């Protein structure tokens, strides 16, 4: 958006106006036309080709005849005026004509670069179709090939060469008010490993989900990549690689850059929410623990994954029966996701009556060397809390047969590890085995939905990290839904922004998990779906945002005064991607 308009505050007016419409109608779609801008306001607008090249303002063929005359657009566009609905139809026809998912990703990125409102309208109205393209699983492939598909910069790159000048660099961002930053160092992109600066596709995709799924205004979103180098030799040898060509910073030099970035971000954008994304285990826990009580920050791989998994367990128990404290959880993987899930499950079990020691004893981990037990001397710090007294077990199948868990959760990003033998063992042990294969992209998933249902005779309660279509078995059709962080983090983010949370706490994620589970209907459960339809995601995000903000107010962590109607207030802050009039 033009700097002049940003200084005058037109962005905040449009956001407020869109929110008022959202509070009157469904959070999914608002059709009432916004109020017209005054002629004096239109004079401050860019005109002609400058306007058409600004994706935050461009409406392309939807500019009316009056707007074309007032803004110098006559003759620069085809003469026929189209509605936004017609433009959506054109975009979908072009999109659906493409066979390759990466081509679809590039197509949507190009749309984002030329017409922001239309991009978000397409995503918000078609989440089931678009989310697997703008985020998992396709975003993983896009990151791997980021240097090849790169067309236009989006977000900010803070490199190892910028130590000492990060604040000055952040002031180059065109919007003075930023509500949320998603930042990665690119070392652990999904299950793909070190992709260096190519990891920028992750924060860009996450923030698109914030806007599409929770209505966070695009101007409040800032994607950031900390380019600290890469240890990926193929990237270092790739002439099209977009990052600095050096080995990764480690130790004090890495910490210096991260510290400077976090402090500078809070100085330039006071009160900003910082979401750490896809940092490797060696840094993720340490960085989170360093900043979680100093600024408003969270790690989505640790806390967001935990929130959505806990919500899935709540839904699964409505099918299988029993209480959460009665469950025994066995995770395949012992990194950020696994320990984050176990920590949040422990918190929930304690809230339901167990001691922390008892709750921890209900959660077990298996890593690449077998069962995590106290006698092992090779354990990283984050695994120690879940290292129990037990003889060593060499592999996951042996752990399942020995420990007899009620639920297995795969987060190790090793494809095919929920073997037929593992699934059959779970079916022997449990009437309704809970099986969460959460790794992504699809090539890394522990098992497919069909494998889970067939190996368990249709008795599995299944959730997945990558998308799978409906499965018919013995005449019954199951509709598995992704146990995807996109159900959780958008609502957490807008809830924190709405109340100006000082910190984001684990009990906020616990409240978010319960709020999400409460949105799952009996009809969802009847078809094996543990999560609500993505078509309801904006509505669901409002419930999560309210739950998060309520925790902040209860704990004295909200800087803003509590509004009389918290739900209506949060709805009023949500961005509406329908066009507004410029004359």
- Note the pLDDT tens digit of each residue in 241-250: 999 999 999 9
Q: How many CB atoms sit inside 10 A of residue 208's CB?
A: 25
Does 23 score more than 50 pLDDT?
no
CB-CB contact of 355 with 515 (8 Å): no
Which residues make up the CATH 3.40.50.10380 domain(s) of the chain?
83-295
Instruction: Report the pLDDT value the prediction gives residue 1, as an integer from 0 to 100.
Output: 39
Burial readout 105-116 (b: 16 or more C-beta within 10 A, e: otherwise): bbbbbebbeebb
Q: How many CB atoms sit inside 10 A of residue 56's CB?
A: 17
Instruction: Report the pLDDT value the prediction gives residue 44, as an integer from 0 to 100.
Output: 78
| Range 2-9, long-range pairs (CB < 8 A, 24+ positions) | 2/45, 2/46, 2/54, 2/57, 3/174, 4/44, 5/44, 5/45, 6/174, 6/175, 6/176, 6/219, 8/44
Instruction: Report the pLDDT value the prediction gives residue 495, as an integer from 0 to 100.
Output: 98
Instruction: Report the pLDDT value the prediction gives residue 190, as an integer from 0 to 100.
Output: 86
According to DSSP H, which parts of 352-419 are helical? 356-360, 396-403
Tell me if residue 502 is catalytic. Answer: no
Tell me if residue 256 is catalytic. Answer: no
Does 300 score more than 80 pLDDT?
yes
Mean pLDDT in residue range 256-263: 98
Measured in whole angstroms, how far is the alpha carbon of residue 1 from the centre of its chain? 25
> In the block, which residue shows the tokens 């285990």?
281
Which pLDDT band, with edges at 50, 70 and 90, does 19 fall under?
Answer: very low
Does 310 score more than 50 pLDDT?
yes
φ/ψ of 189, rounded to 5, equals -80, 110
CB-CB contact of 312 with 463 (8 Å): yes
Burial readout 384-406 (b: 16 or more C-beta within 10 A, e: otherwise): ebbbeeeeebeebbebbeebebb
Q: If we measure between CA atoms, which residue out of 360, 274, 343, 356 comes closest to residue 305?
A: 343
Measured in whole angstroms, how far is the alpha carbon of residue 287 from the centre of its chain? 19
Does 380 score more than 80 pLDDT?
yes
Instruction: Report the pLDDT value the prediction gives residue 441, as an integer from 0 to 100.
Output: 83
Q: Is the peptide bond before 441 cis (omega within 30 degrees of 0)?
A: yes
Residues 460-476 have pLDDT tens digits of: 999 999 889 999 999 99
Q: If we measure between CA atoms, which residue out of 11, 63, 2 comes closest to residue 583?
A: 63
Instruction: Report the pLDDT value the prediction gives residue 21, as an integer from 0 to 100.
Output: 43
Does 285 score more than 90 pLDDT?
yes
CB-CB contact of 128 with 212 (8 Å): no
Mean pLDDT in residue range 19-36: 41
CB-CB contact of 341 with 313 (8 Å): no
According to DSSP H, which parts of 278-419 are helical? 281-291, 305-320, 336-351, 356-360, 396-403
Which two tokens mark 444? Answer: 């890394």
Which of the pair, 473 or 21, is modelled with greater confidence?
Answer: 473
Which pLDDT band, with edges at 50, 70 and 90, does 80 fall under?
Answer: very high
Q: How many CB atoms sit inside 10 A of residue 517's CB?
A: 21
Does 511 score more than 50 pLDDT?
yes
Instruction: Report the pLDDT value the prediction gives residue 557, as an integer from 0 to 100.
Output: 98
Does 540 score more than 80 pLDDT?
yes
Which of the pair, 440 or 457, is modelled with greater confidence?
Answer: 457
Catalytic residue among 105, 120, 135, 569: 135
Does 235 score more than 60 pLDDT?
yes
Residue 434 has what DSSP assignment? E
Q: If we measure between CA atoms, which residue out of 419, 377, 374 comes closest to residue 398?
A: 419
Which pLDDT band, with edges at 50, 70 and 90, does 234 fall under?
Answer: very high
CATH architecture assignment, domain 83-295: 3-Layer(aba) Sandwich (3.40)
Which of the pair, 472 or 14, is modelled with greater confidence?
Answer: 472
Catalytic residue among 104, 206, 383, 502: 206
Which residues make up the CATH 3.40.50.720 domain(s) of the chain?
302-483
> In the block, which residue shows the tokens 């080995």?
247
Which pLDDT band, with edges at 50, 70 and 90, does 45 fall under?
Answer: confident
Measured distance CA(273)–CA(295) in Å, rounded: 8
CB-CB contact of 67 with 51 (8 Å): no
Q: 201-214 and 489-499 are packed helices; what angle lies between their axes, rounded to 10 degrees?
A: 70
CATH architecture assignment, domain 302-483: 3-Layer(aba) Sandwich (3.40)
Does 385 score more than 80 pLDDT?
yes
Residues 333-353 have pLDDT tens digits of: 999 999 999 999 999 999 999
Instruction: Report the pLDDT value the prediction gives residue 39, as an integer from 0 to 100.
Output: 40
In what order do the strands lie in the sheet containing 434-437? 370-371, 363-367, 329-332, 407-410, 434-437, 461-464
CA distances from 211 to 205, 215, 323, 433, 538 (A): 10, 4, 35, 36, 9
Measured distance CA(360)–CA(345) in Å, rounded: 9
| Summary mean pLDDT of the chain | 92
């Amino acid at each position: 958006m033009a700097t002049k308009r940003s200084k005058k505050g037109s962005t905040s007016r449009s956001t407020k106006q869109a929110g008022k419409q959202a509070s009157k109608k469904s959070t999914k779609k608002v059709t009432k036309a916004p109020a017209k801008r005054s002629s004096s306001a239109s004079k401050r607008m860019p005109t002609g080709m400058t306007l058409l090249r600004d994706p935050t303002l461009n409406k392309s063929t939807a500019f009316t005849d009056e707007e074309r005359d007032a803004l110098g657009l006559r003759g620069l566009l085809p003469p026929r005026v189209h509605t936004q609905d017609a433009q959506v139809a054109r975009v979908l026809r072009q999109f659906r004509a493409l066979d390759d998912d990466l081509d679809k990703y590039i197509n949507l990125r190009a749309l984002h670069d030329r017409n922001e409102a239309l991009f978000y309208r397409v995503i918000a109205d078609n989440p089931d179709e678009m989310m697997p393209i703008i985020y998992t699983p396709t975003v993983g492939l896009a990151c791997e090939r980021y240097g090849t598909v790169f067309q236009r910069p989006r977000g900010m790159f803070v490199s190892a060469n910028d130590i000492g000048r990060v604040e000055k660099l952040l002031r180059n961002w065109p919007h003075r008010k930023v509500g949320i930053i998603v930042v990665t160092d690119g070392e652990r992109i999904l299950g793909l490993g070190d992709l260096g600066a190519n990891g920028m596709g992750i924060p860009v995709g996450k923030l698109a989900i914030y806007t599409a799924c929770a209505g966070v205004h695009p101007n409040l979103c800032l994607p950031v990549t900390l380019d600290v180098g890469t240890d990926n030799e193929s990237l270092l040898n790739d002439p099209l690689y977009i990052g600095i060509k050096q080995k990764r910073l480690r130790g004090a030099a890495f910490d210096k850059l991260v510290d400077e970035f976090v402090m500078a971000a809070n100085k330039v954008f006071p009160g900003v929410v910082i979401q750490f994304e896809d940092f490797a285990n060696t840094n993720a826990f340490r960085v989170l623990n360093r900043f979680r009580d100093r600024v408003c920050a969270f790690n989505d791989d640790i806390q967001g994954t935990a929130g959505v998994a806990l919500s899935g367990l709540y839904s699964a128990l409505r099918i299988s029966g029993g209480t959460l404290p009665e469950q025994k959880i066995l995770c395949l993987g012992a990194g950020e996701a696994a320990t984050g899930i176990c920590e949040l499950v422990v918190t929930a079990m304690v809230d339901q009556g167990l001691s922390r020691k008892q709750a921890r004893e209900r959660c077990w981990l298996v890593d690449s060397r077998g069962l995590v037990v106290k006698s092992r001397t090779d354990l990283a710090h984050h695994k120690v809390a879940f290292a129990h007294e037990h003889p060593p077990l060499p592999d996951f199948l042996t752990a399942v047969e020995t420990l007899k868990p009620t639920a297995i959760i795969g987060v190790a990003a090793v494809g095919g590890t929920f073997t037929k033998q593992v699934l059959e063992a779970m079916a022997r042990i449990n009437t309704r085995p809970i099986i969460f294969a959460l790794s992504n992209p699809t090539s890394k998933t522990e098992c497919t939905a069909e494998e889970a249902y067939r190996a368990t005779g249709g008795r599995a309660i299944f959730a997945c990290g990558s998308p799978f279509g409906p499965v018919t078995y013995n005449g019954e059709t199951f509709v598995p839904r992704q146990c995807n962080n996109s159900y959780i983090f958008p609502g957490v983010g807008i809830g924190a922004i709405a109340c100006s949370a000082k910190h984001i706490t684990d009990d906020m994620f616990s409240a978010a998990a319960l709020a999400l589970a409460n949105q799952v209907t009996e009809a969802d459960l009847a078809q094996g779906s543990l999560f609500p339809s993505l078509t309801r995601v904006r509505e669901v995000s409002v419930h999560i945002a309210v739950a998060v903000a309520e925790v902040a107010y209860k704990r004295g962590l909200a800087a803003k005064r509590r509004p009389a109607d918290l739900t209506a207030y949060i709805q009023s802050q949500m961005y509406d991607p329908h066009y507004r009039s410029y004359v």
